[in-house]
Chain A
Amino acid sequence: MDQTNPLRRFAASFTGHAITLFARFITAVRADWRGIEPVQRQRVYFANHTSNGDMPMIWSVLPPAMRRETRPVAAADYWLKNRLRAFVGGEVFRAVLIYRNPEGRTEDPMAKIIAALNDGSSLIIFPEGARNMGSDPLLPFKSGIYNIGRAHPGVDLVPTWVANLNTIMPKGEVIPLPLICTVTFGTPLHVDPDETKDAFLARATAALLALAPKPARAS
């Protein structure tokens, strides 16, 4: 990453600031550090996924020093579609790009994720694997987060709830609505030595769901 020319690096940092500023202007996005402190520690933030704006929101509320150490895990088929996306995904967010579709991929996504963790980066992942379009609050988690927790037992797995983005920027809409977005960070989880995959995924799902704001009243 360091061999890119300084102009591109400047453009990337400028674009990053512009994205953060835009996120704040539209959504006044703020972090609720409920279960962790905003300190530098290797973490995997696992979040609900309802909109393409989820990742930039989490990225925006991280303090700059933490942001520099944090890489989102994102779909290569989306972020390599054109040169602009490749620039934003690769150089602004420095995403760990993985191919979701097993057909025709040459690299193992899990190996890439583990390699990024071995480098000391923190990660943002969306364990549902795809944007949640239904009325259920969460889709069933993929096993990736369990494998990460097994491979790096020391890394904090932080449940991260992004509230309101499905209204701010639902799939198929072009104009983002200016509504207030809150990113809530919960208490970190670790995979217990003898915990099964299903048990852990259930625990992680419950921990993430617990952060969702309760509806004001039953209607």
Chain B
Amino acid sequence: MTGTTADLILLAFGVFGLLIGLTLLGEGLRLRLGAQHSNPVIETYMTRIRAWWAMVILLSLALISGQTGVLVLFAFVSFAALREFLTLTTKSQADHLALATGFFVILPAQYILIGMDWPALFGILIPVYAFLLLPIVSVLRGDPNRFLIRVAETQWGLMICVYCASHVPALMTIPIPGYDGRAVLLIAFLVMVVQFGDLLEYYFGRRIGGRKIAPGISPKSWAGLACGVTCAALIGGLLHWITPFGVFGAMGMAAVAALTGLFGNIVFAAIRRDKGVKDWSHLIPGQGGIMDQLDSVAFAAPVFYHLTRFIWSA
């Protein structure tokens, strides 16, 4: 067993232990309330924990299986997220081929380029080539009605669900001196600090309240945000041993990732409101869709990727 695998297993068991604790806590609170009273905060908390269990198990398996496993997992996550996103965007039959190209050509190509470790190309495939190609494919079918809205919403979906999400596995391609073969741990780090940031922001935000960040869009408050980001930084510091960042570097990276993720969450709340839906889909029972889980990680991933590359890469 390599040191990386051992670290991953240690990390996985740590998280399992935490989840067992959190599950027991929720069940305990439920028990105290009695069967006939259900508290929406506890129920939301419990569904979040359940989704966490599934995510942790899937991600652990993918990380332990290595680069291919992670790429395949995130390619499917992108597919499911893009499916949810484009279900709600503006489109006409003239876009059929363009959308199919997005799903069946652009999406796999992005992950294959990451697998081939070709950063010069996977960095621009969607923001440049898909951006130019898909409107051309659409326009050939000749329907100018709401054209700009159609191509813009499609491009936005591809950027978030494929481009941004693919920067999580892309972390494995960054050459960092003295960190060879350990890059899967960076993925674990990113996902953990962002998700812990979310969870703790939720916990403290509901407790403290305070001035809302975006009234009418999201219940998140500035105080909750500050607590979430601070906690994420502390957790990042505790996890510094799996990163190449050092203690303070890890705290800073965790804070940036959590902050970006939380704002991503608010942006997605605005999109859901605009489209008049509560959740993106029904794919995760009691929890909404893949997109509801992915939004914060997708926002944080490219920033985390570029900072890592910029500061720590060889």
Seen from chain A, the residues whose Cβ lies within 8 Å of a Cβ on chain B are 28, 30, 164, 167, 170, 173, 175, 177-180, 216-217
B276 A178 Cβ-Cβ under 8 A: no
Beta-carbon contact of B100 and A180 below 8 Å: no
- Does B83 interact with chain A (Cβ within 8 Å)? yes
Task: State which of B79, B88, B100 has its C-beta within 8 Å of the C-beta of A177.
Answer: B100
B281 within 8 Å of A (CB atoms): yes
Give the interface SS of chain A, mostly helix, strand, loop or mixed: loop
Range for the number of chain B residues in contact with chain A: 20 to 34
16 new A-B contacts, CB < 8 A, other than A178-B79, A179-B87, are A28-B281, A164-B87, A167-B91, A170-B93, A170-B96, A173-B97, A175-B97, A175-B100, A175-B104, A177-B100, A177-B103, A178-B83, A178-B103, A180-B281, A216-B88, A217-B274
Residues of B within 8 A of A (CB): 79-80, 82-84, 86-88, 91, 93, 96-97, 99-100, 103-104, 274-277, 281-283
Judge whether A217 and B93 touch: CB under 8 Å.
Answer: no
The contact of B86 among A30, A175, A179, by CB within 8 Å, is A179
> Contacts of B281 on A, CB cut-off 8 Å?
28, 180
Once the chains bind, are B283 and A177 in contact (CB under 8 Å)?
no
B93 partner residues in chain A, CB cutoff 8 A: 167, 170, 173
In the complex, A78 Cα to B277 Cα: how many Å? Answer: 38
Q: Kindly report which residue of chain B lies nearest to residue A175, judged by CB atoms.
A: B100
Whether A177 touches B275, Cβ cut-off 8 Å, given contacts A28-B80, A28-B83, A164-B87, is: no
In the assembled complex, how far is the CB of residue B138 from the closest CB belonging to chain A, in whole angstroms?
13
A170 and B86 CA atoms in complex are apart in Å by 16
CB distance from B174 to the nearest CB of A (A): 31
CA–CA, A178 to B108, complex, Å?
Answer: 14
Q: How far is the CB of B158 from chain A (nearest CB, A)?
A: 13
Contacts of B84 in A (CB 8 A): 180
Instruction: Tell me the smallest distance from the CB of A185 to a CB of chain B, in Å.
Output: 15
For residue B105, give the distance in angstroms from its CB to the closest CB of chain A: 11
Q: Which residues of B sit under 8 angstroms from A30, Cβ to Cβ?
A: 282
Q: Identify the interface centre among B80, B86, B96: most chain A CB within 10 Å of its CB.
A: B96
**CA distance in complex: A170, B141 (Å):** 14
- Measured in the bound complex, the distance between the Cα atoms of B96 and A175 in whole Å is 9
- Which B-chain residue is minimally distant from A215 (CB atoms)? B276
28 contacts between A and B (CB under 8 A): A28-B281, A28-B282, A28-B283, A30-B282, A167-B91, A167-B93, A170-B93, A170-B96, A175-B96, A175-B104, A177-B86, A177-B96, A177-B99, A177-B103, A178-B79, A178-B82, A178-B103, A179-B83, A179-B86, A179-B87, A180-B83, A180-B84, A180-B87, A180-B281, A216-B274, A216-B276, A216-B277, A217-B274
Contacts of A170 in B (CB 8 A): 93, 96
Chain A residues whose C-beta falls within 8 Å of the C-beta of B275 in the assembled complex: 216
A120–B145 CA distance with the chains assembled, in angstroms: 49
> In this complex, what residue of B is CB-closest to A30?
B282
Residues on the A chain within 8 Å of B104, using CB: 175
5 tightest Cβ-Cβ pairs between the two chains A and B: A216-B276, A180-B87, A175-B100, A179-B87, A178-B83
- Residues of chain A within 8 A (CB-CB) of B79 are 178
Give Cα A170 to B91, complex, Å: 13
* Nearest CB on B from A31, distance (A): 10
**CB-nearest residue of chain B to A214:** B276
- Kindly name the residue among A167, A177, A216 whose own CB sees the greatest number of chain B CB atoms within 10 A: A177
Instruction: Report chain B residues within 8 Å CB of A175.
Output: 96-97, 100, 104
A176 to chain B: closest CB distance in Å? Answer: 8
Residues of chain B within 8 A of A216, CB atoms compared: 88, 274-277
In the bound complex, do residue B96 and residue A173 qualify as a contact, i.e. CB atoms below 8 Å apart? Answer: yes
Considering the chains assembled together, what is the distance between the CA atoms of A107 and B87 in angstroms? 42
Please measure, in the bound complex, the distance between the C-alpha atom of A139 and the C-alpha atom of B275, giving whole angstroms. Answer: 27
Q: Residue of B at shortest CB range from A25?
A: B79
Question: B278: shortest Cβ distance to chain A, in Å?
Answer: 12
Give the nearest-CB partner of A163 in chain B: B87
Give bound CA distance, A216 to B274, whole Å: 8
| CA A179 to CA B80, docked complex, whole Å | 9
